Structure 1
Amino acid sequence: MHQQLIERTSTAWSTPLLDHLSGHDRRRFQLFGQGPVAAVPDTHIHHAFERHAAIRPDATAAEHHDETITYGELNRQANRLAAQLARHGVHPGDNVAVFVRRGIPMLVGILGVLKAGAAYVPQDAGLAPSAHLRHVIGAAATRVILTTSNVADRIPVPTGHHLIAIDTLMTQPLGPSDDRFRPQRPGDAGENCYILFTSGTTGRANGVAVTHRNVCNILLTAPGDLGIRPGWRVGQVLNVAFDMAAWEILGCLSHGATLVIRGQDIAETAQHVDVIIATPTILSALDPKRCGSVKVVAVAGEPCPRPLADRWARRCTFYNACGPTETTIVNTMHRHHPNAARLTIGRPTPNNTVYILDQTGHPCPIGATGEMWAGGDCVSAGYLDNPALNAERYVPDPFLGGGGVMFRTRDLGRWTPDGQLEHLGRTDDQVKIRGFRVELDSVSAILESVPGCRRAVTLKLDDRSLVSFVAPNQVDPEMARQAVASALPYYCVPTAVHPLAALPETSRGKVDKAALRHIALANRATNGLERTA
């Protein structure tokens, strides 16, 4: 794929799909849509970790509460686990479940699976219900389940499967062969690194296979590497089942830094790290004035409020990023400055492309709104055992060609005149109210400009009404409604604005819209009609 991008840098993309564009837009379509070409130093992400373990074995790899582990010890423990997995019949290309709580054994589990040539399938065993864990085990065809002794009794273990408690294994003395063990590695650089399960529109959790090539491309090139280096401290605050946790964990360990695994208090951890990777919802609960050591912040997973970006960008390097799990953590990034004209999601990351296409698959003129499609090395290997969904979302890339695939993100966006991507919400966030099309994120963005408002979310309640939620609960709901009325057409004005102390969160640190909808419906049932607070 790198070679395809290199060959295209001096030659305009040639396809009839571009014929309707002006010559100027055709050139900008290529210039804006193609990320820089960059060399990637490793084919497997754990090789970068192993290099640091060899050079600086006594450096601290991770800490959790009062417990620490060095790079050398983490490498030895992961080697031993890889040997154990091999004895249990795990081969390169297999999938291994890692059902754990946050802690150092989680890291041993992840690295041990990768060293065995397999892909890890992470879930937080303290949060995921048994039915979901059972579905993941079956869908990912795992035969070995890694866990820890404190949650082992919560794991549904099918007949014929092996359950290994990582922390128990770690307490056993290391033998000479454990340190020398080098598991077999397949030569295919496209092998899977991890399998993540996303919530499908039908309620079914879809497993997404993400390759080492995908992961190395974002984590071992700038700006996705976030400048992480030995001596830095990187916060680990996210749910291991969320793909941005791989940014924290593998991004840290592949650059020789120290991973600071949080306890119950995210704010406490944030005060003692150099790097924070989070959703806007999580970041909005942190006070930048109390995080004086933070050098770099990156957010993704949800639209970022402009005031939140400005507040952090005044104090540190701040990246606003975007990308679904299927395009490997993020595939666009932008370093934001508080005096910038607008907050954008930037441009494609190295060796990647982004296309703004209309409903027929043709490129939109520069500045026109369309759906974002992603191409290049970010595009993952697809959904497990779901050929229909794969056919809908992963299609041949007519612009790069050469057998490349592009992914339909379902995100709406447009190019600015200077080649920055503006994120305009999701295709399913474009709703009809009283026959008019409304972009829900546009309403929420206005609400977030109201003094004192940190976060806002807007939902469609029925065909005639919207309802919004704002946090914290000191926000004046009538002032919030008037702000929308002053900026947008009447049909965009929410019939009710509900102030809350904080917006409810999902286990992955995003706003829980299902919980908000339940609140709105309960209020309607109680009051008979929606009304402003």
Structure 2
Amino acid sequence: MITQQPAVRRNSRPAGVPEQERPALTLDQVFSRIARSHPARVAVQEGRHRLTYDRAERQAVRLASALARGGVQLGDPLIVHCGNHRQALVAQLAVLKAGAVCVPPPDRPGGLAALAGATGARAVLCSRATYDRAVRGIPSLALDDLLTWRKISAAPEEPALPRSSPEGGAYLLPDGDRRVARLVDHRSWLRSAADRSRRVVSPAGTVTTGREPMSRVALAATWWAVSSGATLHTAPWDPDDDLWPLTGSWDSAAILTPGDYAALQDAGPASRPGPRSGVGTTTGTGRAARAGSGCGTVVLIGEPCSRELAARHFAARPGTRLWSEFAPTDGALPWTAHEITARDARSPYEPGAGNPVPPVRLRIAGPGGETLPRGAHGEIVAMGPPWFPEDVQYSGWHGCWTPDHTLEITARPPRVSADPRRRPHAPAHQDRVRSPEPPGRLEMEVI
């Protein structure tokens, strides 16, 4: 996502509020503040396992101290590939506190060694179940191994922690199809979570997701929950609950991809509205037949929501709000967002992708890279704020602007995207920083 925020944007602070009273924070600093003020609050609810903010903070400080004393430098990439969300949260916090950068695991089996070589990762933070013997030359720390924590606990805490900075990189998100990695800083993640809270609602209870740790959906859910001081709920209490994570409390929000949501709609029989949120007692038989309330908001990220999916949502859950965020490149930081209503589901037209999320600006590019007028079809291109005109990101998706100033998606990119450097209308000097590493390395986009 092109969401750089220089110091110039600080002029948007309320009048009369001194700059020193509104310091910029990092992701780990936001977590630390909640851990100090609400130590017993649950940070991750994973089935019947709970991890409080205080316990996660203490474990992360110990692990970050071991990483710093072990030679991890500022900006070093570290792969986080843990078997559950509790270990993944501690690992992410530790990497950020050490001033390093988190790298999610590859989405293909057996690609961890290649990812380590392409990103220049210094270490792998994993679980015993995700340990990969093919990764050689760098250490792998299994965070569910008692021997690992005995070594970590023996090292004194590093007094220089945290070493993170708001403008420093937080995540390096590889795109294996295009051999590009996007470096996303702390400010971008926090602003994305804050924007989502302003648009949708700040979740008072839990943020639920059914995706695996370190996936784009899980990252979006994690930092939205943390920025709101809520709980990340990542596994159902009842393993036979086919409709989870839609069966959360009424004050919770579920983050899903449109594909995941469609699969959940297919998991159980048609339902009649239940109390408050619209997820109610099912009329058919099966494991999904139960009464109760469900989550108050469903947020779909990644692809646009189709009219058919919206119609199915309001037929089953008329009291549950539905939001759609178009995030074509990394799935977590949206380009556009809008709320879909029941009227949109009954419309003969697709709901579209919505309006751009500031400070991102969008345009429709023609074959030669020229900006097309409203109504013309071309590739959707995101641009950074006016003070960073060189930040340009080609999505591969095609669409056009509608008369009501919303973005309509007309074509999806192919399964394996072409290398954007080979496009005649993607100037190499605009949006990419060529890595000086050998040809096997990923090319990096600074975001």
TM-score relative to the length of structure 1: 0.62
Residues 3 and 93 of structure 1, relative CA distance in 2, 3 Å threshold: closer
1:122 counterpart (85, 99, 104): 104
Percent identity of equivalent pairs: 26
Structure 1 CA distance for aligned equivalents of residues 33 and 242 of structure 2: 30
Structure 2 CA distance for aligned equivalents of residues 72 and 168 of structure 1: 21
Residues 220 and 155 of structure 1, relative CA distance in 2, 3 Å threshold: farther
1:418 counterpart (404, 417, 434): 404
Deviations 1:216-251 (A, max 9, x none): 22112245774234x411113123353222101122
1:296 aligns with 2:297: yes
1:365 counterpart (373, 388, 408): 373
Deviations 1:396-425 (A, max 9, x none): xxxx25554111111112222221111112
Partner of 2:27: 45
Q: CA deviation at 1:368?
A: 2.1
Partner of 2:120: 141
Structure 1 residues not aligned, in runs of 5+: 10-39, 378-399, 430-533
Residues 428 and 375 of structure 1, relative CA distance in 2, 3 Å threshold: same
Deviations 1:341-371 (A, max 9, x none): 4412111112211112222333222222222
Partner of 1:83: 65
Structure 2 CA distance for aligned equivalents of residues 261 and 163 of structure 1: 25
- Structure having the higher helix fraction is 1
Residues 157 and 238 of structure 1, relative CA distance in 2, 3 Å threshold: same
Q: Any conservation in 1 of the 2:97–2:164 contact (CA below 8 Å)?
A: no
Partner of 2:429: none
Amino acid at match of 2:125: L
1:164 aligns with 2:165: no
Structure 1 CA distance for aligned equivalents of residues 226 and 336 of structure 2: 22
- Alignment map for 1:405-484 (pairs within 5 Å): 405-428=391-414
Partner of 2:184: 210
Structure 2 CA distance for aligned equivalents of residues 109 and 3 of structure 1: 28
Q: Any conservation in 1 of the 2:325–2:335 contact (CA below 8 Å)?
A: yes
Partner of 1:462: none
Q: Any conservation in 1 of the 2:85–2:213 contact (CA below 8 Å)?
A: no
Deviations 1:304-334 (A, max 9, x none): 2212123335332211111223585321101
Structure 1 CA distance for aligned equivalents of residues 65 and 59 of structure 2: 10
- Superposed CA RMSD in Å reads 3.3
Partner of 1:501: none
Query: What is the DSSP-based 3-state SS (H/G/I as helix, E as strand, rest coil) of the residue aligned with 1:84?
Result: helix
Count of residues in correspondence between the two structures: 367
Residues 144 and 175 of structure 1, relative CA distance in 2, 3 Å threshold: closer
1:183 aligns with 2:161: yes
Structure 2 CA distance for aligned equivalents of residues 298 and 46 of structure 1: 24
Larger of the two Rg values belongs to structure: 1
Residues 97 and 252 of structure 1, relative CA distance in 2, 3 Å threshold: same
Q: CA deviation at 1:294?
A: 0.8
Amino acid at match of 1:185: R
Deviations 1:92-148 (A, max 9, x none): 111111122233111111111111111111227xx7422x10111111111211111
Q: Any conservation in 2 of the 1:60–1:71 contact (CA below 8 Å)?
A: yes
Q: CA deviation at 1:272?
A: 2.2
1:56 aligns with 2:38: yes
Q: CA deviation at 1:71?
A: 0.8
Structure 2 CA distance for aligned equivalents of residues 328 and 61 of structure 1: 20
Structure 2 residues not aligned, in runs of 5+: 13-21, 266-277, 281-291, 416-447
Structure 1 CA distance for aligned equivalents of residues 98 and 155 of structure 2: 15
- Alignment map for 1:352-391 (pairs within 5 Å): 352-376=360-384
Query: What is the DSSP-based 3-state SS (H/G/I as helix, E as strand, rest coil) of the residue aligned with 2:144?
Result: helix
